[in-house]
Amino acid sequence: MIVDYVAEISRLKRELNAVILAHYYQDSEIQDLADFVGDSLELSRQAAATQADVIVFCGVVFMAETAKILNPGKLVLLPDMNAGCSLADGCPAEQFRAVRERYPDHVAVSYINCSAGVKALSDIICTSGNAEKIIRQIPEDKPILFAPDRHLGAFLEKKTGRKMRLWQGTCSVHDMFSERAVVQLKVRHPEALVIAHPECDEAVLRHADFVGSTKALLNFASGSEAREFIVVTESGILHQMQKACPEKVFHAAPANDNCACNLCPHMRLNTMEKLYECMTTRGPEIRIDEELRQAALKPMQRMLEMS
Ligand code: 13P
Ligand code: SF4
């Protein structure tokens, strides 16, 4: 049977009174039918504000968990429950608890790319879109434990001049971009501006004309007078860049010389077919223990207040 996924998903959306939230790293066809496409911060805000009964999250587990933490009464669906994240997986809650216990005087600021368990052990959550603003609000005399992304942490240290104790996690996608590949692309396109996500290594970021969250990169490209860009992040964002600026040229940075692996294998587990299936069967559904949810909610609320 041939299914018209766009028509069927629209029908199911009305039937369920559902909202479809999608991250910029989703396939273009999913981005095009979503009610809202955004970065982690915007998606959290949308999840906090929605009036829908059902949230269908086209992203990864930690994002859908965040939506559930903010909306315990709503059904939160994720098309593929295997859509994890190397940052979240590299920071198990028990190990994080042990580090917290070793440094009880530290304010624990955790990047939203972490499990509900790690959120529950944190003082404040941040995203790449608000991290600098949040770090700057923490009193100077308070030491900071930052988890789990060491590249974002190092970038924030440089921006704010604030030394932090960094968890040594990385994003498996952004960590693959090589300085050499970016420089080679820059030689081929000397007029292009390099725009990069702060999950990249410092060696890559030092070649960037602008560093920011996915949404900030999109805004920068739209507002810039430049006509050509080398984009150093997951290449899903190029879809919105090309839509917003059809007259500009965007070059997706390759991860290294001979591989184009700039797609997140977790994000890309979601497909139109799985989206349709999950709305049809109302599963897989995100479930979080209520005590854990309440503990994880506090640092999430602090983030929303501070950003
Ligand atoms: P942002 O959408 O916040 O820029 O984060 C990128 C990312 O890697 C999400 O997993
Ligand atoms: Fe996680 Fe990196 Fe994929 Fe984002 S791009 S979901 S940080 S593995």
Band of pLDDT at residue 254, cut at 50, 70 and 90: confident
Nearest to 232 by CA among 258, 259, 257, 211: 211
Residue 255 pLDDT: 77
Nearest to 208 by CA among 223, 194, 189, 188: 194
Q: Which atom of ligand 2 is nearest to the CA of 149?
A: 7
Is the sign of the CA dihedral 87, 155, 102, 294 positive or negative? negative
Residue 102 identity: R
How much is the pTM?
0.97
Separation CA 114–CA 100 (nearest Å): 15
Ligand 2 site residues, Cβ closer than 6 angstroms: 25, 60, 85-87, 113, 171-174, 199, 234, 264, 266-267
Residue 258 pLDDT: 61
For residue 93 the two structure tokens come to 């809650």
* pLDDT of 266 above 80: yes
Residue 85 Cα to ligand 2 middle (Å): 5
* pLDDT of 127 above 90: yes
Q: What is the mean pLDDT of the chain?
A: 97
* pLDDT of 88 above 70: yes
Residue 113 Cα to ligand 1 middle (Å): 8
Ligand 1 pocket test, pick from 85, 113, 175 with the greatest ligand atom count within 8 Å of Cβ, gives: 113
| Domains of the chain from N-terminus onward | 5-83+267-287 (3.40.50.10800), 87-172+296-306 (3.40.50.10800), 174-252 (3.40.50.10800)
Separation CA 229–CA 247 (nearest Å): 12
Per-residue pLDDT tens digits for 172-197? 999 999 999 999 999 999 999 999 99
Question: Reduced to 3 states, what is the DSSP secondary structure of residue 27?
Answer: coil
Separation CA 38–CA 232 (nearest Å): 17
For residue 296 the two structure tokens come to 């994880």
Q: Residue 137 gets which letter from DSSP?
A: T
Residue 186 identity: K
Residue 24 pLDDT: 98
* pLDDT of 261 above 80: no
Q: Name the burial class of residue 54, with classes exposed (0-12), middle (13-18) and buried (19+) by CB atoms within 10 angstroms of its CB.
A: buried
* pLDDT of 260 above 80: no
Average pLDDT over residues 69-94: 97
